[in-house]
Amino acid sequence: MKSQLLPKGHKKLIHAWAFYDWANSVYPLVISSAIFPLYYGALTLVKNDQGIVINDTVKFFGFNFNNDALISYVTGIAFIVISIMSPLLGGMADYIGNKKNFMKFFNYLGASACIGLFWFDLDNLVFGLICYFLGLIGFWGSIVFYNSYLPDIAFRNQQDQASAKGFSLGYIGSVILLVICLILIMFYDTFGFESESLPTRISFILTGIWWIAFSQYTYAYLPKGNRKGDARTKDLVLNGFRELKTTYKKIKSSVGFEPYLRAFFVYSMAVQTIMLIATYFGVGEIQWAEGEANTGLIISILLIQLVAVAGANAASRLAGKYGNINILIVINIIWIGICTYAFFITQPIQFYITAFFVGLVMGGIQSLSRSTYSKYIPEKEKDTASFFSFYEVTEKIGIVIGMFMYGFIAQVTGSIRNAILFLILFFAGGIFLLLRLKLKIKN
């Protein structure tokens, strides 16, 4: 599909950019949150006839690991690799001016890894976890370059709405594919399958195909980038570092830029940790009736995704009226209320209520955080990939710290529930830093 050059601010260009959320959001929903975690659990847990777990240990490279610990280690290592890799790649992409090719590479890497999960079983544990690892690298690697296009394709007064549109399309698109996959899995015998295993693994293939196929519309309209140097130069890595250093100096010298990153880092630790542990909290802390846990968790995930559409659009409209920082402060306050309520819940209906409000503020805080950061980038700045690599690194390091804190607290206290108290502290810290940022800008 040949690229079509459209001017910045053009509705078709903004829509094409936002449509990549429709393409890629199937990965975090199907692979990170819904079907793959349940498949991995079923694959690595041994239960007796009463459904009680009698063995949760798997052998990996000759060592025995708890199944949850193993997937957590792989996830953590992937995020560390992304944190190290993203800034350098962002600088290199800005230097040679081909960030669309970088975005494509990670897109196709992640989607191919999803397809590779079709062959994931205990006999192919290493191969399966490598695919899981590469899927994380591919998804988050492509997001660096995708997000960096926001200030390129939309003017500042369009960026809140454009960011919300992207997340909204992502929430809707991912739900559509998840429902298709769930129909295949739940009614497997109707489609001629002998068990749930094959349609579950087919859902991984569908995720990869969906991601690649729908991303082509985005690539047809996104500009390639702004060339500064020669891609064949021997000093490409060195120039990537130089580009990164220049960007960091611009962030340091800009009023409010670095303080916003600090605030984002703190509250994002809590947001991302909640998104990653929600399923585990629902399994371990909610008193489901026998056989209802998986269904209840899927319903909760779908509820979060659909409500998040309204949350993203509401946050965009309110930010236009009251200002981005003010709305982010309010959203963080609501998060504290949700966490306080979640600390006491035990029943499924309470979990559904929590899921509703989580979806509402999750959509708002994700879309508004991205567009707020974009607005700090100078209007005529060309090196947007380098700028957004700092945003992504801030988020990923926050995830690693948040997950470590969650695991440490759960290990020491014996309960996931106690980790919620520290999440409240993260949101409170985010509010404090956002209020300081307001004062700094005002003065």
For the chain, the structural domain boundaries read: 11-48+61-223+253-442
Residue type, 243: E
CA 381, 385, 388, 390 torsion: positive or negative? negative
Query: What number of other Cβ atoms are within 10 A of residue 64's Cβ?
Result: 9
Is 316 in contact with 163 (CB distance < 8 Å)?
yes
Chain centroid offset of residue 301 CA: 14
Q: Which residues pair with 64 in a beta bridge?
A: 59
Q: What pLDDT is recorded for position 41? A: 75
pLDDT at residue 184, rounded to an integer: 92
DSSP 61: T
Q: What is the pLDDT of residues 392-405, one digit of tens each?
A: 888 888 888 877 77
Q: Considering the domain 11-48+61-223+253-442 in this protein, what is its CATH number?
A: 1.20.1250.20
CB neighbourhood size of 9 (10 A): 13
- Supply 275's token pair: 């998104």
Q: Please give the pLDDT value at position 98.
A: 78
* Angle CA 351–329–323, to nearest 5: 125
Residues 6 or more apart whose Cβ sits within 8 Å of residue 399: 79, 268, 269, 272, 273, 276
**With contact defined as beta carbons under 8 Å apart, do 254 and 247 qualify?**
no
pLDDT score at 74: 84
Q: Which residues contact 248 (CB under 8 A, 6 or more apart)?
A: 390
Can you give the pLDDT at residue 145?
87
Residue with tokens 């003010």: 326
Fill in the DSSP letter of residue 334.
H
Number of Cβ within a 10 Å radius of residue 408? 12
Token output for 424:
């409240």
pLDDT in tens, the chain (443 residues): 555 678 888 999 999 999 999 999 999 888 887 888 878 877 875 554 544 445 567 776 766 776 667 777 788 788 888 888 877 777 666 666 678 888 999 999 999 999 999 999 888 888 999 999 999 999 988 988 898 888 888 998 899 999 999 989 999 999 999 999 999 988 889 988 888 889 999 999 999 999 999 999 999 999 876 555 444 444 555 665 666 677 778 777 777 788 899 999 999 988 988 887 777 677 777 888 877 877 888 888 888 888 999 999 999 999 999 999 999 999 999 999 999 999 999 899 999 999 999 999 998 999 999 999 888 888 777 767 777 878 888 888 888 887 777 767 766 776 678 888 888 999 999 999 999 987 765 54
Q: What is the dihedral of CA 312, 317, 321, 323, to 10 degrees?
A: 30
Rounded CA-CA distance 369/388 in Å is 12
Amino acid identity for residue 328 in this structure: L
* CA pair distance 383, 152, nearest whole angstrom: 10
pLDDT at residue number 3: 56
Handedness of CA 366, 369, 374, 377 (dihedral sign): negative
- What is the b/e burial string over 130-151, where b = at least 16 CB atoms within 10 angstroms of the residue's CB? ebbbbbbbbbbbbbbbbbbbbb
**6 — phi, psi (to 5°)?**
-125, 150
Q: How far apart are CA 310 and CA 357, in angstroms?
A: 11
Phi, psi of 347 (to 5 degrees): -100, 150
